[in-house]
A and B are shown apart, each in its own frame.
Chain A
């Protein structure tokens, strides 16, 4: 299957700092990428849909000014958690939609810990 990478795989930061997470589709072009968040013992919750060349679409309850999404190319979407706080500590996972198939491929996730 297609490969999606995320970087970094884990990050620890101080409260108040901003953290950028990258999601890359390695062997296909993804016009649409999705960002999810998963808290311990809970399922994945969609945060936003990232569309190449246009603004992201955020789910209800997700602050767009706090979670900045940029999808500047067909193979890269970034999620920036601004002014991170301990409650933002979570597992952030992206997925990329392979345009020729009805399939999404998930990145390996980024584990964020805010102290």
Chain B
């Protein structure tokens, strides 16, 4: 079993749709959690950190459930520019990051 598992996707949605990505992790000692965005042939870019209290940044909402070892990302009112691969990242106290395989989102006009 992989340490970090994500929805395999791909997700193909129309503009304006709401889309949710799920992620589970197996190491209960994991310390911090993130969603990254990666465009084709580019490095990952931090989208947002994820907290148990939930956090929102504009159209993006992230949630962490430590008891279930589950992380989610919700994107509202999808834009064409949201098309990318979204990576769930779990980080240990030592800073070692484990990436999920990513979920590809394509937003269509």
Contacts and interface: CB of A to CB of B under 8 A. Distances in A.
B15 interface: no
B32 interface: yes
A44 B32 CA distance: 17
B97 A43 contact: no
Chain B: number of interface residues, binned into ranges: 10 to 19
A108 B42 contact: yes
A44 B95 contact: no
A49 B44 contact: no
Interface in B67-109: 87, 91, 94-102
Contacts, number: 44
Nearest to A108: B43
Majority DSSP secondary structure for residues of A touching B: strand
B17 interface: no
Contacts of B20: none
B33 to A, nearest CB: 11
Contact of A46 (B42, B45, B87, B97): B97
Interface of A: 1, 32, 34, 36, 42-46, 49, 91, 93, 95, 97, 102-104, 106-109, 111
Closest 5 CB pairs of A and B: A43-B99, A106-B43, A43-B101, A44-B99, A109-B43
Interface of B: 31-32, 41-46, 87, 91, 94-102
